[in-house]
Structure 1
C-alpha cells in the first residue's frame, strides 16, 4: 500500500495536538512516519466533527462521553499501522483510547447500541477518507485491486475492534454495578494519602494519572430529601467535562462529600474555575474547587485546595461556589475561628454592626482597598459616584479612629473576613 506514503496533513483544520496516548503517537510516527501520523490526527478530528453533526441533524444519540475523538484517532492510527505491517485481523486489538471511551460510556449510562453506532459511523468516514486518498494517488490500472484490498482489511479490522469493545463494555458494566465504586474509593484514598498507585489504578479509575487533573468537592445545601440526586450530580459532571474540555471525569463519595475529578489530556488553562462556575447545576449543589494540576502531585494539590475552599464555603453564606483563588487566604484566616473573630472585632471596631449604613461603608472601604485606594475603580465596581466613595471612605476612617492608609493590608484582611463570615463580627472571641 504505497499510497500511504502520500498521507500529509492539510493544515486546514484547527487541531490542538493529538488526543491519543503519547505511546501510540510515538509508535505511529516510528512505523508510518510523522506526516502520516499528523494526517490521521487531523482526519480523526474532522471525522468526529462530521459524525457529531450527522447525529445532531438526525436527532440521534451519539457523541456522549466527550472522548470519542481519542477513540477514533487511536483506532485510525492502529489501522494504519496494521495496514502498513500487513497485520491479520485476528492480531488486531482495539486500542486503549477506544477501550477507555467504552468504559466511560458505561459509567455515563450510554447504551451499547449508541456506542456501536458511533463506531460504525466513524468507520464509514475513515473508509471514505482513505478511499479518497487512493483515488487521488493510485494509478487507474491498480485502483480496483487497491480498493478491494483496503475494504477487506478495514471490514475485518472494524469487526475485531467491535468484538473487543463489546467485551470491554460487558466487563466494565459488570464492574460498575459490582465492586468498582468501592475499588475506586480505595484507590483514590490511597493516592490522596500519598501512596503510589498500583498497576491497575488507571484501569479502575478510568483516568490517566500522569496527565492533568481538576478536583472539586460538592455537598447539598439541605439535609432533606433530594429527588434525583445522583442524576443531577452525574449531569453536572458530564456538562462540566464538556465545558472544560476534559477527557473524562469521575465522581466518588469521599469523606461526606461528592468528589468530582476531571482528567485532561492537555494542560487546562489556569482560569478553568471561571468555566466551572458557569456550568449549570442543581440549586442545592454547593461546590468548592481547587486549581488544575499535573500528575499525582497536581491531583493531590487540587484536592487539598478544594478542601480549603470547602472550609470557607461551609462557613460563608455569600455564595454557593468557591474556588481556591478566592478562598485560599480566607481558609488560613478562618482556621482558628475564635482568633479570627478577635481579629475582625479588634481591627474593625466602630465599623461593626448589621446596620445597612455600616454595611455600605464597610463594603465601600473593602472595594476601595482592593482597588489600591482608587476611588474611581471602587466607584465603577460598586456603580457609585466617586464623591459617594470618598464620603464613605472618610466616614470609615472616622469610625475606625485611624487613617485608612495605616496598615491597609490588615484592614482589608479584616474586611474580607467580615464580608465572607458576617458571624465573626458578633461571635464570642477568646478573652471576652
Structure 2
C-alpha cells in the first residue's frame, strides 16, 4: 500500500464541498485516502482543467467542449489515487461514471475523437507532473527514484486503460446516437410537451432530471448556402452555450432543419442567462432564440413554448442573430395575428410609413424617444446624437403623423416596435 497518497494536501482553501464528482465517489475516496488527499484531488483537477482550456484557447485548437470535463477528470483522478494507494492493477479498475458520461456527451455533441484524446493526454501529463512534484517533497533523494519509476508505470497503465475504455464508449455512443437514440429522445420530448406524464425510465432515456431548472433554445440557419457539417456545428454551438451558462446537462435535438437545445441546471443560475447566451459567438450563418427559465416539468413546457415564440419573431425579423423571449415577448404577442398586426402598424404610422432612409431614421428616433419615457437625453445617448437633434426629429415625425407623437404613446410605440422588427409590415401588401 502506498501510504504517501494519504499525505497529499491542497495548497489553497479547497474543501470537499467544492467537488464536481458524484457524492458517492467522493465519499469512497475520503474513506480510502482521507479528506486531505481528496481535497488535493479536487484542487488539482480544477487547476489542470483550467490549464488545458487555456492551452487549447491559446493555440486556437479545439479543446474542452462539453462542459463536463472537470467532473470527468476529477472522477478519474479520485479513481487513480485510490488505485495507487492500494496498488490496484489496471485491469481491476472500474472506470468512474462521470468519465463515461462525459465521453457519451462528447459523442452526442460532435466532439471529434482526436479532440477527446488530446484532452485526456493533456490531463494525464499534468497529473504526472503534479504527482512527481509531490513525491519530491515527500521523499529523500535516495528513496525518490524507485517511487518515480513505480508511479510512472502505474499511471501509464491506468491512462492506457482509460483511453481504451473511452474509445469503446465513444464508438458505442456514436452508433447509438446516430441511430434510434435521438429519435427516441425527440419522441419523449414531444410526448411531454403534449401533456403526457414521465415514466420511471424517462429521465434515464433523456439523460437529465425533470425536477431541475430548464432553459430551451432554438437555433436555425438563416442563409440558404450549403454548410458542411451543419448539425455538428449547431451541436457544438449548443454545448458552448451550455458550458458558458454553467448548465448541468445539454441535450441537442435536430429536426426540420432546426437544432433545439435543452439546458438543465441543478440549482437556480446566478447569472443573466440572456446576456451570457448572447455573448457566445454564433456561427455566422445561424440565429438563436431562447425562452424563459422554468422549474420542473411545467417549467420545461413553459420554456419550450416561449423559445418557440422568440424563434418565430427571429425568423420573421429583418435583422439580428439573437432573440430572447424576455426581450420580444410583447412583439411575439402582437405579431401572432400577422394580418391584424400589419393593419395596426399601417393605421398607427400613416404618414410615417415610407421606406425612405430619412423616414426610417425618424421612426427609429421616435421609437427610442417613447421607449425611454419621452427623454430626449436618453434617446440622444442611445443614438449618439445631440438632444436638440432628437427634439427636431420627434417634431418632424409628429408633423408627418398629423398629430403629436406623444398623444397616443402606447399605441404609437407598439406600432414602431413592430415596424422596427418587421419592416415588411410597412411596405408589403396585406396577406
State TM-score, norm by structure 1. Answer: 0.79
Distance change >3 Å, CA 185–CA 82, structure 1 → 2: same
Structure 1 window deviating more from structure 2 (294-303 vs 36-45): it is: 294-303
For residue 94 of structure 1, give the secondary structure of its aligned residue in structure 2. Answer: coil
For residue 385 of structure 2, give the secondary structure of its aligned residue in structure 1. Answer: coil
For residue 289 of structure 2, give the secondary structure of its aligned residue in structure 1. Answer: strand
Alignment of 1:224-235 (within 5 A): 228-234=229-235
Aligned-residue RMSD, C-alpha: 4.1
Alignment of 1:16-415 (within 5 A): 17-25=18-26, 28=29, 32=33, 34-51=35-52, 63=64, 65-82=66-83, 91-110=92-111, 112=113, 115-137=116-138, 154=155, 157-197=158-198, 201=202, 204-205=205-206, 213-221=214-222, 228-234=229-235, 236-237=237-238, 240=241, 249-254=250-255, 257-262=258-263, 268=269, 270-293=271-294, 296-400=297-401, 403-406=404-407, 408-415=409-416
The whole-number CA distance in structure 1 between the counterparts of 2:353 and 2:56 is 60
Distance change >3 Å, CA 37–CA 269, structure 1 → 2: same
Distance change >3 Å, CA 404–CA 24, structure 1 → 2: farther
Structure 1 window deviating more from structure 2 (234-243 vs 318-327): it is: 234-243
Distance change >3 Å, CA 35–CA 301, structure 1 → 2: farther
**Cα pair 1:94 1:165 within 8 Å, conserved:** no
Distance change >3 Å, CA 99–CA 386, structure 1 → 2: same
Per-residue deviation, 1:306: 1.4
Distance change >3 Å, CA 91–CA 211, structure 1 → 2: farther
Distance change >3 Å, CA 315–CA 128, structure 1 → 2: closer
The whole-number CA distance in structure 1 between the counterparts of 2:201 and 2:256 is 23
The whole-number CA distance in structure 2 between the counterparts of 1:145 and 1:333 is 75
Structure 2, unmatched stretches of 5+, are: none
The whole-number CA distance in structure 2 between the counterparts of 1:294 and 1:21 is 22
Aligned length: 429
Structure 1, unmatched stretches of 5+, are: none
**Cα pair 2:419 2:425 within 8 Å, conserved:** yes
Distance change >3 Å, CA 27–CA 407, structure 1 → 2: farther
Per-residue deviation, 1:368: 0.8
Per-residue deviation, 1:326: 2.0
For residue 313 of structure 1, give the secondary structure of its aligned residue in structure 2. Answer: helix
Per-residue deviation, 1:32: 4.9
| CA shift digits 1:376-430 (9 cap, x unpaired) | 1111212222112112223344454555554533432222122222344467889
Structure 1 window deviating more from structure 2 (377-386 vs 419-428): it is: 419-428
| CA shift digits 1:132-191 (9 cap, x unpaired) | 334434678976786677666655554553453233223213212322222232233234
Distance change >3 Å, CA 233–CA 116, structure 1 → 2: closer
The whole-number CA distance in structure 1 between the counterparts of 2:41 and 2:409 is 58
For residue 393 of structure 2, give the secondary structure of its aligned residue in structure 1. Answer: helix
Aligned match of 1:9:
10
For residue 351 of structure 1, give the secondary structure of its aligned residue in structure 2. Answer: coil
Per-residue deviation, 1:105: 3.0
**Cα pair 1:19 1:265 within 8 Å, conserved:** no
Distance change >3 Å, CA 53–CA 354, structure 1 → 2: closer
